[in-house]
Structure 1
Amino acid sequence: MSATLTNKIEIIKATSSKINEVDFENLSFGAVFTDHLFECDYKNGEWQNPVIKPYKPFLLDPSAKVFHYGQAIFEGMKAYKDDQNAIWLFRPDENYKRFNNSAVRMAMPEVPEVIFMDGLNQLLDLDQAWVKPGAGNSMYIRPFMIATGDGVIANPSDDYKFMIILSPAKSYYSGEVKVLIAEHFSRAANGGIGAAKAAGNYAAQFYPTTLANKQGYQQVIWTDDATHTKLEEAGTMNVFFRINDTLLTAPVSERILDGITRKSLIEMAKKEGITVDVRPVLVSELVEAAQNGSLKEIFGAGTAAVVNPIIGFSYKEVYHELPKIENSFALQLKEKLTNIQHKLSEDTFGWTVKV
């Protein structure tokens, strides 16, 4: 970390804290935010004036390009507090790298590592009381960047705002999840922005997901845009399929996000002796596996839920229920990963970084 930049971060503390107004045992995910945020503006070709200040709304010109041309990217990260009250991040280097990959794809300026990491560390240090210890507790971290330049001419903005906000979180549990396999809609296309964490990627899937919700399904498993024969992601998560005792998951591509939880689970599974096959997975083989009983599990993987088991799927109006099994790979891997994140188990992978 750069001591030079850390000294340059202006810190404006809130006059009072709202922490005592928060019921930490009954948190709705992503609905409560801490006392402060980090902000840094890009103007005149350089990043300038990094500041940590009280969390509050801010003004933008109605013609700001984020509103008209969608230049907006974000990341999802978590911090954890151990029983010694130390705060730990999980693979922040991967989030930082992916954030800038998204920036490049959206014609936005890359954020220097010293701004990203020092801003995050200083913010977590200031609002450390909001990070609660104990299994199931975490701090969800949302770095994001928007185009703030004004004018409605269709070209990249000259000005941008990079911010980090913090939201305390409990264990993410959405109940039993049934999914609908997409036959028409796609999350992303070759040559598009599916591999970037661009805001528009998520807005575009709200409509088909709403249609699935009306049919009684909580999420959609997206298929490839060209043939709709290959399984890609589940909702906003990467997805794994267990056929017999092999885990299958699609390779990352221009269409599929390079999930940090995904790559962590793959490494952990291999270390546990589980066979992992990273390759295109066909809808037809999933249906066949469900019919012959070799399909044991489907689960999503992402920052918010870590691992989200799926109990069944529908394709061409035929619903396939998955069996209830005792030796669930999903639950085994989730427990091992969350134990590392919460510092309840040794981190032999070197993934956790102390704030």
Structure 2
Amino acid sequence: MELKTLSDLEIITTSNSKINEVDFENLTFGTVFTDHMLVCDFENGKWEKPVIKPYAPFLIDPSAKVFHYGQAIFEGMKAFKDEQDDVWLFRPDENFHRFNKSATRMAMPEVPEDVFMGGLHKLLEIEKEWVKKGKGNTLYIRPFMIATGHGVIAAPSQSYRFMIILSPARAYYSGEVKVVIAEHFSRAANGGIGAAKAAGNYSAQFYPTKLANDQGYQQIIWTDDATHTKLEEAGTMNVFFRINDTIYTAPTSERILDGVTRKSVIELAKKENINVEVRSVLVEELIAAAKDGSLKEIFGAGTAAVINPIVGFGYKEEYFELPKIENSMALEIKEKLTNIQYKLAEDTFGWTVKI
């Protein structure tokens, strides 16, 4: 896609960059932010002029509806720098459209394409030096919108703030990842907001994830809310299962996020002649495959981690270790996908967009 330009934009640059204070080799994910941010307010039924300004806290009314009724959505994206010092985005159109789908579901105004895409383009031009070369180095992009209208009446806000902040990043997860299959808690329910990137979806995961951590697991494989028999997502990622030489993943629904990395994995696997089936996978199927040796791999897929192999899973007090395999489909797909993102391989899909 072509990035739309934004002509009506105010830019206020900082006189004191923080970039030389940052240790880019030792970054904790999502804790360091670049010099500037984009801000655009929705007031009186329309979007105002976007502003790029120095990254800083801002004042907000204590009765703002984001605090009381949870109107908040976000996206996760990345920028990559190739060996020629050009900066690229990966499938930004998918994030833009999903952001506005989330907005609609949360009774929030859609953000215009020139504000989202054009504002992001200009922000990345200004912060280009924060995108470091080398595989594994990225600039994580966090567009988000919150309800800023004041008053505690239970109704949608009339005012909103859209923002984009940027954070230099390296690997999201480190070490081995073990998961436990949820028997009681659910990530989302039919008719709910599971398909939206709403802030509340993630806060609701914190408590059951803490319980899993206490048992020695890093994440949870969520199951459906009605029967807890269908495997749906892993932590904050879509999840894939390799049984023999077929990869399975759950279909998207009202409960399951339409992940950009997820759909990229599916398309890339099919291009590599890997058999992919998009269907519900049952807990009992996974247990049976683990016991008879046909379960080869489980891996999560998401923007932050790209692909994260899972070494084992727990269910009903029993732990199943996955086999150590030489020809990992997960790692093969990750290598091909990241090569496209870093422009180390030809992008035959047309996924990458130059800044």
- Equivalent residues in 2 for 1:59-138 (5 A)? 59-138=59-138
Match of 1:42 in 2: 42
Match of 1:307 in 2: 307
Match of 1:334 in 2: 334
Match of 2:217 in 1: 217
- Equivalent residues in 2 for 1:11-50 (5 A)? 11-50=11-50
Offset of residue 172 of structure 1: 2.8
- The letter for the 1-side match of 2:246 is T
Q: Which runs of 4+ in 1 moved over 6 A?
A: none
The SS at the match of 2:48 is strand
Q: Using the alignment, how far apart are the partners of 2:167 and 2:9 within structure 1?
A: 21
1:9 aligns with 2:20: no
Normalising by structure 1, we get a TM-score of: 0.99
The SS at the match of 1:286 is helix
**CA deviation profile, 1:173-193 (whole Å, cap 9, x unmatched):** 321000000000000000000
Match of 2:154 in 1: 154
- Equivalent residues in 2 for 1:234-253 (5 A)? 234-253=234-253
- The letter for the 2-side match of 1:10 is E
- The letter for the 2-side match of 1:289 is A
Q: Using the alignment, how far apart are the partners of 2:194 and 2:96 within structure 1?
A: 18
1:227 aligns with 2:227: yes
- Equivalent residues in 2 for 1:139-288 (5 A)? 139-288=139-288
Structure 2 gaps of 5+ residues are none
Structure 1 gaps of 5+ residues are none
Q: Using the alignment, how far apart are the partners of 2:63 and 2:82 within structure 1?
A: 45
The SS at the match of 2:33 is coil
Normalising by structure 2, we get a TM-score of: 0.99
Query: Do 2:312 and 2:319's aligned partners in 1 also have CA atoms closer than 8 Å?
Result: yes
Query: Do 2:4 and 2:117's aligned partners in 1 also have CA atoms closer than 8 Å?
Result: no
Q: Using the alignment, how far apart are the partners of 1:326 and 1:128 within structure 2?
A: 38
Judged with a 3 Å threshold, the aligned counterparts in structure 2 of structure 1 residues 184 and 128 are, in CA distance, closer, same or farther, namely same
Q: Using the alignment, how far apart are the partners of 1:81 and 1:311 within structure 2?
A: 31
Query: Do 2:4 and 2:113's aligned partners in 1 also have CA atoms closer than 8 Å?
Result: no
RMSD: 0.7
Q: Using the alignment, how far apart are the partners of 2:272 and 2:171 within structure 1?
A: 24
Match of 1:51 in 2: 51
Match of 1:343 in 2: 343
Q: Using the alignment, how far apart are the partners of 1:2 and 1:81 within structure 2?
A: 20
Q: Using the alignment, how far apart are the partners of 2:82 and 2:246 within structure 1?
A: 34
The SS at the match of 1:8 is coil
- The letter for the 2-side match of 1:313 is F
The SS at the match of 1:49 is coil
- The letter for the 2-side match of 1:270 is K
**CA deviation profile, 1:92-119 (whole Å, cap 9, x unmatched):** 0000000000000000000010100011
The SS at the match of 1:151 is coil
Offset of residue 2 of structure 1: 5.0
Q: Using the alignment, how far apart are the partners of 1:96 and 1:174 within structure 2?
A: 29
**CA deviation profile, 1:143-188 (whole Å, cap 9, x unmatched):** 0000000000000000000000000011333210000000000000
**CA deviation profile, 1:306-330 (whole Å, cap 9, x unmatched):** 0000000011110000000001001
Offset of residue 8 of structure 1: 1.4
Judged with a 3 Å threshold, the aligned counterparts in structure 2 of structure 1 residues 2 and 304 are, in CA distance, closer, same or farther, namely closer
The SS at the match of 2:349 is coil
Query: Do 2:261 and 2:301's aligned partners in 1 also have CA atoms closer than 8 Å?
Result: yes
The SS at the match of 2:330 is helix
**CA deviation profile, 1:15-43 (whole Å, cap 9, x unmatched):** 11000000000001001000000000000
Match of 2:354 in 1: 354
Please say which of residues 220-229 and 173-182 is displaced more in the overlay.
173-182
**CA deviation profile, 1:49-84 (whole Å, cap 9, x unmatched):** 200000000010000000000000000000001111
- Equivalent residues in 2 for 1:306-325 (5 A)? 306-325=306-325
**CA deviation profile, 1:178-219 (whole Å, cap 9, x unmatched):** 000000000000000000000000000000000000000000
**CA deviation profile, 1:231-269 (whole Å, cap 9, x unmatched):** 000000000000000000000000000000000000000
Q: Using the alignment, how far apart are the partners of 2:333 and 2:195 within structure 1?
A: 25
Q: Using the alignment, how far apart are the partners of 1:127 and 1:96 within structure 2?
A: 20
Q: Percent identity?
A: 76
Offset of residue 7 of structure 1: 2.8
The SS at the match of 1:197 is coil
